[in-house]
Amino acid sequence: MVPPGMAAFDLVAAKKWGFAFVPAVGILELVAHLWQTTAGVVPESDWRAAREVVKAKAKADDLVVFAPKWTDPVGRETFGDEVATLEREAFPDVTRFPRALEVSIRGKHRDELAGWKELARDQVGGVTITTLENPSPAKVIDDLVRHASPQGMTVQRTDGAREVDCAFQTGGGQAGGLGFGMAIPNERFACPGGAFVGVSVLEPIDYSARKCLYAAPIGGGSILRVRFANVAFGKALHGHHGLYSEHERGGASVTLLFKAEDKTLGRVVHNDGDGWKGYELDTRELEGKRGELIAEVTAGNGNRRQYCFEADTR
């Protein structure tokens, strides 16, 4: 007798017909495959339609990202350089963006935007565009990476008492394949002896893209010095530094020292395994002023030290 309110489960029948589980798995797998390879694939037309929505909504200082991350190449191809700019693709972190447009498929989200407030959501076929607000955006006053021109900065190499200027040059940039590391930018300050400083994109240990100043330390007692001109200071100097992923596997620590008004603002050290490492230096004494900011890059040994840093004042 089955008690009232209880369903009966016939064990004998279950055993008899249990074999059906196997063909059911086979058929389910077949159906899942058919769905995953047809209706489950977001068509190109949805991506194109999503581009128009984002184009209409995105402001210049908005972040635009694609989720999941593996869709990024499709996003860049479809949205083009106008929307998927280098600054949006290779941002140092998300703190500077007041808003973000997350273009996502498959219900995925970007970890960087966790905790941001959702303002709007647009569904374009299989693509979801979510407008998110940064709960505490930072107001960037000056971006050191934007100083990378003869008007914005100068570079020197110091070997003991000898200091030489590194001339700004255009041309001869190089990009390689796997294991090459960061691209050597076409526009760079080239020092006698091989060191240089220029804007490139780093692949740090997490393989993300980070736009920064490629400034590989020379090693020994030599200093690679960058003098940023007419920097507008704020309360803090906020930045990151890192090494090319394959160089995080055994090498000397890299030290980045910031100076202004003949005072040391702070020293940050990058050790192997640190990845894209953030730092923030207190500059309240300089807040509201404009002046020269000096960054000095040194390492005990410059071997396999493709190093890159970025900073902004805020």
Partner 1 sequence: MSKVAEPTWRDRLRLGKEVGPGDHLVGASLGAVYVAWLLATARELGFARDEGFYFRAATDYARWFKLLFERPQIAIEQSSIDPIWQVNSEHPALMKSLFALSWMFLHEKWKVFDDASTAFRFPGMVMAGLAIWLVYIWGARVFSRRAGVFAAFGLALMPGTFYHAHLACFDVGIMTMWAACIYVYWRAEQKGGLAWAILAGVMYGLTLETKHNAWVLPAVFVVHALVLHGKRIARSSRVGMIPIPTSLLAMATIGPAVFVLLWPWLWNDTLPRVQGWFRFHLNHEYYNMEFLHVNYWKAPSPPAYMPVMIVATVPAVTLVLFFAGLGERAKIAWLRVRALLAHAPFLASQLRVSKGDGPKDRYETDLLLFLGLTVPLSLFLLPKTPIFGGTKHWMPAYPFLVLFAGRGFDLVCTAMHRALAPRLIDARARFMATAALLASVTLGSLLITSHSHPYGLSSYVPIVGGTAGGADLGLNRQFWGFTTQSLADYFAKNAWQGATVFIHDTAWDSWSRMLDEKRIRSDLRGVGSPSEADFSIVHHELHMNETDYNAWVHYGHVAPDFVLTHDGVPIISVYRRSKPKP
Residues lying near partner 1 in the complex (CB under 8 A) are found at 16-23, 25-27, 29-30, 32-34, 36-37, 40-42, 68, 70-74, 76-77, 79-81, 84-86, 89-90, 105-106, 108, 173-178, 180-183, 185-186, 199-203, 207-209, 244-245
Radius of gyration of the chain (CA): 26
Least distance between partner 1 and beta carbon 62 (Å): 16
Least distance between partner 1 and beta carbon 309 (Å): 16
Nearer to partner 1, 75 or 234 (CB): 75
Residues 6+ apart with CB under 8 A from 195: 157, 166, 215, 216, 218, 222, 224
Least distance between partner 1 and beta carbon 93 (Å): 17
Least distance between partner 1 and beta carbon 100 (Å): 17
Least distance between partner 1 and beta carbon 282 (Å): 32
Distances in Å between the alpha carbon of 306 and those of 117, 129, 211? 37, 37, 14
Nearer to partner 1, 212 or 236 (CB): 212
Nearer to partner 1, 46 or 287 (CB): 46
Least distance between partner 1 and beta carbon 239 (Å): 19
In which element (H, E) is residue 65 found? Answer: strand 63-67
Nearer to partner 1, 17 or 192 (CB): 17
Nearer to partner 1, 203 or 296 (CB): 203
Structure tokens, 80: 């083009």
Nearer to partner 1, 180 or 303 (CB): 180
Q: How far apart are CA 139 and CA 95, in angstroms?
A: 9
- List 101's β-bridge partners, or say none: 64, 131
- What are residue 251's phi and psi, to 5 degrees? -175, 180
Distances in Å between the alpha carbon of 151 and those of 228, 242, 283? 9, 26, 23
